[in-house]
Amino acid sequence: MNKTLITNPIMWADVPDVDPIRVGSCYYMVSTSMHSMPGCPIMRSTDLKHWEIVSYVYDTFEDNEAHRLENGKNIYGKGSWAASLRHHNDTFYVCFSSNDTRRFYVYRTKDVVNGPWERSVIDGLRHDPGLLFDEGRVFVFSGNGSIYITELTADATAVKPGGIDQLLFETEREDIGLRCEGCHAYRLNGYYYLLFIEWPRTGNMRRRQICYRSKELLGPYERRIVLDDDLGYHNKGVAQGGLLDTPNGEWYAMLFQDHDAVGRIPCLVPVAWEDDWPVFGIDGKVPEQFEVGLPESESMPLVISDEFDYQSDRLARNWQWNHNPDNRLWSVTERPGYLRLRTGSLADSVVQARNTLTQRTEGPACTGETLLDTAHMKPGDRAGLVALQSHYGTVGVAVADNGEKFITMCVNGGAGEEKVLEACPFDGSVVHLKIHFDFEDSIDQAVFYYSMDGTEWAAIGEPLQMKYTLDHFMGYRIGLYQYATREIGGCADFDYFRYQRYC
């Protein structure tokens, strides 16, 4: 039998709150996307090692000031959380809650790659939901510490009138900092299994994987710690995710691990069954390497270079906008071979800039580079490359009110304002920009560069000590931005985006 060698992590990039399933010989996985649009990325694999983004569940899911970055509002750290993916009766279902709208969303489609997805909205927050189809009935398990069960209609579009809707049980409280959350629900071997994570204040004091099981839907449920390991990385527990099996009967779990500034990264973990309990890992540990009984497939990049050579204004799936885009104000066809970003509103910093186009960063190190044409920027405009998180850094061009241009490196100065660390006079039109990210062993440093010819590079400003903060709740992204501080109507043209990962 052909086998594939797995090396953990599966992806050294921010792909959190993973929920995997198998449909035939293909595996699909959804993850949290919060304020990035389009959202709820669907990834596909045939070997559990190489994953390709094949679709998104939605382009946007709400249209309001916060989702549009208007009037100082935003949904950083909110948006869609911890989606659940299931396949039932030839239909794919994805559900999630949004912390900013306090609503529960259910999407369904027959075609997970091409859509379309039908959308249903249910009032009320159902934290970290786990969807379960069980003998003609549909349930959602949700909560943090207090675990609830809610019965939905057979098509999962609404709460079932007169159906089960109650507290199922309370999880452990003693010496627990973060009580159980991140539910994944299954019915296997005659049992109901509910998988969670929790974070104890004693012992190893790291996130760990918990399993509750019962032969009856409403309990009582037994509890067991099924994994408590950090893969040798700074006491960061590998936990939270779902189970899946292969056609030949092997079992695995796709979990994730906090990896500081790069984000929360997925790991594949072997699973065995003993006395109808899932046993995660090998001798209680997540192996760095092991083989799965599947033939290896072609590797597909998670982050790509892009020459912006498109026939229509539809970008590669690897790109996501920071919040809802204004589709009137960007194009890859208006100036062929360029991404053109126009300003349509004013902003005081890059985190409030509309139409910032982003991709993930990857460890252990990576570099993103672009060529910026500033010919059509107006006084007060800012454009360039950003290392995007709450504690961000930018390298780009700022046009002063008198029309003078400067190459600048800026950081978050607090109170919603950018702090300029260095500004170099610039009398040209075109400049090369680059950011190098180093995530090796949590160095978590980004260095910013500019060049007049794309060959000789000069560092600018200071290295950014990257920090993963919960107000954004997302690993660092690299983005192309343009915004106005004085008047709208200017535009910035990006000739390409070139990316390289260093292993």
Measure CA 153 to chain center: 29
Is residue 17 part of the annotated active site? The answer reads yes
Nearest to 27 by CA among 49, 5, 6: 49
Whether a cis peptide bond, with omega within 30° of 0, leads into 161 is no
* Catalytic-labelled residue, pool 17, 19, 260, 306: 17
- Residue 34: DSSP 8-state: B
DSSP 377: -
Q: Given 14, 47, 100, 181, which residue is catalytic?
A: 181
The three-state secondary structure class of 475 is: coil
Q: Checking DSSP bridges between strand 4-7 and strand 289-292, what pairing results, if any?
A: antiparallel
Measured at the CA of 115, the angle between CA 111 and CA 121, to 5 degrees, comes to 110
Q: What is the DSSP string of 399-446?
A: E-TTS-EEEEEEEEEETTEEEEEEEEEE-SSEEEEEEEEE-GGG--EE
Side-chain half-sphere of 136: how many Cα atoms within 13 Å? 0
H or E segment and range at residue 21? strand 19-23
Cβ-contact 17, 29 below 8 angstroms: no
Question: What sections of 96-150 are H helices per DSSP?
Answer: none
Query: What separation in angstroms does the CA of 207 have from each of 221, 251, 255?
Result: 21, 22, 11
Distances in whole angstroms, Cα of residue 351 to Cα of each of 69, 100, 140, 381, 480: 9, 18, 35, 15, 12
Q: 335 is written with which tokens?
A: 């100036």
Exposure of 171 in the CB half-sphere (CA atoms within 13 A)? 30
Q: Rounded distance, CA 302 to CA 217, Å?
A: 39
Tokens at 327, concatenated: 């589709």
Catalytic residue check, 313: no
What is the identity of the amino acid at 271?
V
Quote the DSSP letter at residue 116. Answer: P
Scan for tokens 């610039």, then name that residue.
426
CA distance 129 to 124: 12
CA 137 to chain centre: 30
CA distance 459 to 276: 58
Half-sphere exposure of 265 (CA within 13 A, CB side): 24
User: Rounded to an integer, what distance in angstroms lies between the CA atom of residue 370 and that of residue 452?
Assistant: 12
**Catalytic site positions:** 17, 181
